[in-house]
Amino acid sequence: MNGLNFPRFWAKASQGAFSCWRWSNTSLEEARQQAALAAQRLAEMFRRGELKRGYGYQLTDRPMREEVLREFRAPSGEMAAAVTRNSYGCQVLNTAGFMFVDVDHPAKPATLGGLLGRLFGKGSGASEAGSAQQQLVARAQAWCDQQPGWGWRIYRTAAGTRLAATHAPVAADDPIAEAAFDWFGADPLYRRLCRVQRCYRARLTPKPWRCKHPKPPARWPWPDAAAEARFRDWDRRYATVAEAHATCELIATVGNARVATDLGGLLQFHDAVTRVGSGRPLA
């Protein structure tokens, strides 16, 4: 089941106009060697005219370059989950078997009627989002009717809905996961990431720009001590402004109410860090 793979060592190398990152679970030197070889191969392919348009780094075709902040281990010793920091500074829960389904609700373009409705209290984007979430709750119930024993916790997010399957662990490469993604209309990029990385992801902390905070000045691994110091200062200020926000809010539980023993601790951790029940604005 375990697809968690966050290499400790990363290095970047350049050859002419080509640069690339490579990784190692063994040493920084090995990562540097791999990066140098990869950059050299790219340059040689370009010279031979073999480099196809669009070739290059894709978010889901290799391990994710993210600093691991915390690990959760199963009784067997295998890593069950990890908290990492993504490229824009948010903490993310990565799980081997705790299934999350994220569904984005596209913002509709403003219309004169919609603007007037919001001005005079006769309508709002919030009511449209609420309708979309109600439909997802209904679909979750229909799913549980067809898949006895399943249970879902359904959360409102700033731009959509998050569903968490709490009845039992579900491997990200299990066909039932793909069926659930189809059923709920999960984000396509998220679906591909889960399939290739063989894990699920759930953002724990608010997006900085929704807290009126800038994006981080540097990304791990830090190129030098000064860059790390700048990031740590940014992170301290981000933690302060993030305190005023929540990441998601529970709106419904559907189906089997029993939370699997394997998932209980992770669920409590998720709800605590995302500030479920705090009543704070979502970001």
pLDDT in tens, the chain (283 residues): 567 889 999 999 999 888 889 999 999 999 999 999 999 988 888 888 876 544 443 445 688 999 999 999 988 888 999 999 999 999 999 999 999 999 998 765 544 444 344 344 444 445 666 788 999 999 999 999 999 999 999 999 999 999 999 999 999 989 999 999 999 999 888 898 888 888 999 999 999 999 999 999 999 999 999 999 999 999 999 999 999 999 999 999 999 999 999 999 999 999 999 999 999 999 9
State residue 131's pLDDT score.
Answer: 86
User: What is residue 196's predicted lDDT score, i.e. its pLDDT?
Assistant: 82
User: For residue 55, which phi and psi values (nearest 5 degrees)?
Assistant: -70, 140
Phi, psi of 230 (to 5 degrees): -65, -40
Query: Is 102 within 8 Å of 160 (Cβ atoms)?
Result: yes
pLDDT at 201: 96
125-146 and 175-184 are packed helices; what angle lies between their axes, rounded to 10 degrees? 140
Question: What's at 89, amino acid-wise?
Answer: G
pLDDT of residue 129: 61
Q: Beginning with the edge strand found earlier in the chain, give each strand of the sheet holding 160-165 in spatial order.
A: 100-104, 160-165, 151-157, 248-255
Query: pLDDT value at position 230?
Result: 97
